[in-house]
Amino acid sequence: MKHNAINFKEKFTKFTDHWSPRVIAEMNDYQFKLVKVEGEFVWHDHPDTDEVFIVIEGCLNIEFRDGVVTLESGEMFVIPKGIEHKPIATSECKIMIVEPKGVVNTGDSGSELTAEDDVWV
């Protein structure tokens, strides 16, 4: 077995598209996903799981029906299951998402931004 660290900067160089999470590791039934975001996403929720956003580089706003949270590099936020939210980045932002394997990025809302699931880099 090889023991190699996962380098976020190197992994981010392997894709250019926005709103398309890429899996970089698994732990039990959870996946660690890197994603580049820019512009507005869609309103959605995940009825069966919490979702973690960790900002690696840039600034991310997460809108809720009753407010907004702003995350800068080095900050994270846990969105409780079933809470509707809409991520927004005014310029490109690089984030990590931690969620159970099989979670669809747009929840049940579906849209042209629904990404293929379980894509590894």
Q: By the 8 A CB rule, do 15 and 121 touch?
A: yes
Q: Which helix (H) or strand (E) holds 93?
A: strand 85-100
Beta-bridge partner residues of 53:
77, 97
Residue 110: predicted pLDDT: 78
Range of the domain at 78: 18-100
The residue among 111 and 32 whose pLDDT is bigger is 32
Q: Specify the residue for token string 């669809």.
A: 104
Q: What is the mean pLDDT of the chain?
A: 95
Is residue 12 a part of any domain in this protein?
no
Is residue 62 a part of any domain in this protein?
yes
Q: By the 8 A CB rule, do 55 and 93 touch?
A: yes
Domain total of the chain: 1
Residue 63: predicted pLDDT: 98
What value does the mean pLDDT take over residues 41-59? 96
Query: What is d(CA 23, CA 33) in angstroms, rounded to the nearest whole number?
Result: 4
Query: What is d(CA 41, CA 43) in angstroms, rounded to the nearest whole number?
Result: 7
Residue % of the chain over a pLDDT of 90: 88
**Per-residue pLDDT tens digits for 62-114:** 999 999 999 999 999 999 999 999 999 999 999 999 999 999 898 888 788 89
| DSSP class per residue in 42-82 | --B--TT--EEEEEEESEEEEEETTEEEEEETT-EEEEPTT
CATH code: domain of residue 93: 2.60.120.10
Is residue 49 a part of any domain in this protein?
yes
Is residue 13 a part of any domain in this protein?
no
Is residue 55 a part of any domain in this protein?
yes
Query: What is d(CA 64, CA 44) in angstroms, rounded to the nearest whole number?
Result: 10
